[in-house]
Every structure is written in C-alpha cells, then in structure tokens.
Amino acid sequence: MPRQALLARLAALCALALLAFPAAAEPMRIVVFGDSLSAGLGLMAPQAFPARLEAALKAKGYDVRVENAGVSGDTASAGLARLEWSVREGTAAVILELGANDALRGVSPAVTKNALETIVRRLQARNIEVLIAGMRAPPNLGNDYAAAFDAIFPDLAKAHGAALYPFFLDGVAAEPKLNLPDGMHPSADGVAVIVERILPAVEALIERVKTRKG
C-alpha cells in the first residue's frame, strides 16, 4: 500500500476512535465573585469558602470546580470594574457576594444596587446563572439605610429571576467563636457553617444550569 494511502487510512481510524471515545466533559465551573468574606481573608486557601464549597459539592457527587474570584476590600462598583476578566468564558454559574464593604463605607444603596444590577445583567447576557448572596447593613447606620440596603438583594433577585441566598453570613455574623479576632471575617469554623447552610441553594443553582443546558 502506498505510504500516502496508509497515512490516510491511519488518520481515518484515529478519527473514528475519537468519535467512539469522546473527551470527558469538563467540570462545571462555578465562580465565587466577592470580597474578603468569601475570598478567605486570614485563612489558608483550603479553608476559604470556595475550596470548602467545592469539597462539599464533590462529596455529594457533583463534578464541579469552584473558583475563588474574591478581592478583599471590593465594593460592588469595584467588582463591576473587574467583572469581565474575573469571570472567564466557560463559567456556568456565579455566586455573587458583594455589598458588605459598601455598607461599611456608607455607600448610597442606590449606587450599590446599580452596580450589582449591572453585574447580574452582564452575567445573564453571557448565559451564566447567578446566585445572589445577600448582605445586611450594620445597625449603626440607622433604620432607613438598613431598610434600603437590605432590600437590594431580594429586589434584584426578583427583578431578574436570579437565585437568592438571603444572608451570606447567616448563623455566623456576631458569633465570636465563628469569626476571626476582628469580629467581621469568618474563621475556618465559620466558613464550615456558611457552606453547610448555603449548600442547598448552590445545589439548586447547579440544577438551574443543567435545566438550561437541557
């Protein structure tokens, strides 16, 4: 058999083998897009929320990769400014955890809401499912500020059909044994509580992705 014909036959056989044994599907990519609360300030990387969440999901049989796109000190507007390069192509879902620094700095709730809404819209335009992790204003800012700020997260979820986890620090806020000495950032034990409580919402987020892909 001529050399060229032999090479052509070998190429055809290789192509058939690839069709018979398709490449394994990539893990579902979930990005935690937030600030120091989710990034894991003061913790080792394996103790931070994204790593602990990935481990919990894998333990339940989910093929996922949870990426840490948290930046300490970020406000909602700062997050918006880095959105495109922080959430890469191929991302299936985003856990949006921003707003705490806005409240600490007394940023107008209208400014925070506008930035978060733009983030949600841009992600949804890329067919990325969004889970909004809510935050609550510190009590020292007054009732009016707290009412306006706290309403941002459920209002956005309702308006844009996004998933909602009402309060990211549920069960951890104001619990000294679950926070670092600064009293603000979750300890490793605090992260474990957050993961346990948010896990059902993240599982529902994964199902939304699967349903969308059909």
- Joined together, the tokens standing for residue 161 give 């059909």
Q: List beta partners, residue 64.
A: 28
- At residue 88, the 3 state secondary structure works out as coil
Report field, pTM of the whole predicted structure over 0.85: yes
Question: Cα(204)–Cα(28) distance, rounded to whole angstroms?
Answer: 14
User: Which has the closest alpha carbon to 49: 168, 151, 182, 157?
Assistant: 168
pLDDT value at residue 41: 97
pLDDT tens digit sequence for 110-169:
999 999 999 999 999 999 999 999 999 999 999 999 999 999 999 999 999 999 999 999
pLDDT value at residue 7: 45
Mean predicted confidence (pLDDT) in 60-74: 98
Q: What percent of the chain has pLDDT over 70?
A: 88
Question: Cα(106)–Cα(141) distance, rounded to whole angstroms?
Answer: 8
**Phi and psi, residue 64, nearest 5°:** -135, 160
Q: Is 48 left (phi over 0), alpha (psi -120 to 50) or beta?
A: beta
- Residue ranges and CATH numbers for the domains of the chain are 26-213 (3.40.50.1110)
pLDDT value at residue 206: 98
pLDDT tens digit sequence for 19-48:
554 455 799 999 999 999 999 999 999 999
Catalytic residues: 36, 182, 185
pLDDT tens digit sequence for 170-182:
999 999 999 999 9
